Amino acid sequence: MDQCELPKLTVKDIMIKEIVSVTPETPLIDAANLLVTNGFNGLPVRDSEKKLVGIITDYDLITKKAPAVHLPTFQMMLLNLPVERKDRGHFRKIVKEVASLTVEDAMNTEPLTLPDDASYEDVLKTFREHHRVNPIPVINKDRHVVGVVSRFDILKPLSSFRDA
């Protein structure tokens, strides 16, 4: 494994630079939609100055009380709505309640981050040590998000091995 002449990789070499993010004011259902339609596990939350203020993950949406408490009701609505007119008053109330929730109600305000000069080794170690965390926002000195790195980005080299 002679690699002495190869340059050291950094997080910048593997991170995704086209960032899909939300703001604390984004409706929670829009964030859920972004997660489900893109197949993301999490989204960075940025303020109006594009600074990182949190992260929201699929796990947060399943576990944080505000949205999760209504999930069983919603799945029943999906199934029963066409036939059940009687309970609509109750449903309407819950829909209104959930529609008023924003990202701020469920986000993690102290997300794990990586600096933009982190080495490849730092990235892998961080994923190994923090098994709940995926993806990880990559920030510069001003806390601006410059990228996002996920477990997929670690595994990509192995997956494209066959092509090489």
**Cis peptide upstream of residue 135 (ω within 30 degrees of 0):** yes
User: Which bin fits 50, alpha (ψ -120 to 50), beta or left (φ > 0)?
Assistant: left
Nearest to another protein of 131, 141 (CB atom): 131
Q: Report, in Å, the least distance between residue 10 CB and another protein.
A: 11
17 scored as a contact of another protein (CB under 8 A): no
62: number of Cβ within 10 Å: 11
Residues 132-161 close enough to bind another protein by CB under 8 A: 132, 151-152, 154-161
Residue 124 sits at the vertex; the CA angle it makes with 120 and 127, to the nearest 5 degrees, is 140
| Amino acid at the residue 43 | L
Q: Report, in Å, the least distance between residue 152 CB and another protein.
A: 5
Quote the crossing angle between the two packed helices 88-99 and 71-80, to the nearest 10°: 130
Q: Which stretch binds another protein (CB under 8 A): 18-26, 31-39, 45-53, 138-146?
A: 31-39
The answer to whether 149 and 14 are in contact (CB under 8 A) is yes
Binding site for another protein (CB under 8 A): 1-3, 6-7, 9, 13-14, 28-29, 32-33, 35-37, 39, 41, 58-59, 61-63, 67-68, 70-72, 74-81, 84, 86-92, 95, 98-99, 120-121, 124-125, 127-128, 131-132, 151-152, 154-162, 164
